[in-house]
Amino acid sequence: MMARKLEPLLSPADGFLPRLRKILSRWPLHVILIVTALLWMTPSIGLLISSFRPATDIASSGWWTAFQTPFEFTLDNYSDVLSQNRMGQSFLNSLIITIPGTVVPIMVAAFAAYAFAWMRFPGRNALFIFVVALLVVPVQMTLIPVLRLLTDLNMAGTFPAIWLAHTGYGLPFAIFLLRNFFGALPKELMESARLDGASNMRIFFRLVLPLSVPAIASLAIFQFLWVWNDLLVAMIYLQNPELAPMTLTINNLVSSFGTEWQLLTAAAFISMALPLVVFFALQRYFVEGILAGSVKG
């Protein structure tokens, strides 16, 4: 009777010990991952700390000394950047550029990827190979022809111009990634839906899109970061200081305030803040989306 009463108390330990041994057997891998993560995070941490330090402290000591007493932190750097150097307007401009520049290519690519994955039409494979081949075309080769086209259409220096540019530059990779994921969906599911009388549009919106959230989320991370951090495309196609995104404004700050590190660090961290939020909000889908179609295509 006593042995039966003690049996439930001992069973959790029996399961805990194998898990502990498994964790301890992988400690070298965990140590390597932690050290690598700390090394990658060190520049960002230093940038964040420096953005709150006065100019005299930045010029006289490293950021790692910021926690020595007496503590001297200030918000004046952010106040100066946002109020005096048009960073607030540039942040809004970046949002106006990035949101359509992310949503539009994903929407177009989703329709195209479904057609390449599940619809039969002449030249489908050749057209898909052509789209994938566009991945190797350097952006620099297209700048002058596209700029001339936008100028002829009286669109140069406007937000729609840069929306169209980012849509065109982002479509090849977006179609490639989504097509692989859509093609890995169960064929039986599609056939069952067609037997029930579902049209392509109904299958796309009711089945394919809900099942493809990981791939779409990982693509949204990539496209958002590319558009948000873009400097070259905005510099060529906008040509309007009133519409300048944060990358252009920070580039001008480097030229104007090359020695005022406290302003540059504050501006840089403002530019980093939103991409970090987007990445961590969608990172749960990131690995699953990147591996989409890697086994079955």
The segments of the chain whose pLDDT lies below 50 read 1-7, 9-10, 293, 295-297
Shared domain for 128 and 229, answered yes or no, is yes
Shared domain for 132 and 70, answered yes or no, is no
Q: Is the peptide bond before 172 cis (omega within 30 degrees of 0)?
A: no
Q: Is residue 231 part of a domain?
A: yes
Identify which of 169, 172, 177, 173 has the alpha carbon closest to the alpha carbon of residue 101: 169
Q: What is the pTM of this model?
A: 0.80
107 SS3 class: helix
Number of domains in the chain: 2
Token code pair at residue 274: 């939103």
Q: Is residue 6 part of a domain?
A: no
Instruction: Give the domain CATH number at 273.
Output: 1.10.3720.10
The residue segments making up the domain with residue 28 are 14-74
Q: pLDDT (tens digit, 9 = 90+) per residue, 216-263?
A: 988 998 899 999 999 999 989 987 888 889 888 888 877 665 667 778
Rounded Cα distance, 160 and 226, in Å = 17
- What is the model's pLDDT at position 10? 44
- What is the model's pLDDT at position 178? 92
Reported as type and span, the H/E element at residue 48 is helix 27-51
Q: Mind giving me the DSSP string for 235-285?
A: HHHT--GGG--HHHHHHHHHHH-TT-HHHHHHHHHHHHHHHHHHHHHHGGG
Shared domain for 158 and 30, answered yes or no, is no
Shared domain for 91 and 219, answered yes or no, is yes
Rounded Cα distance, 49 and 165, in Å = 36
Q: Is residue 208 part of a domain?
A: yes
Instruction: Determine the length of the chain.
Output: 297
Rounded Cα distance, 214 and 285, in Å = 5
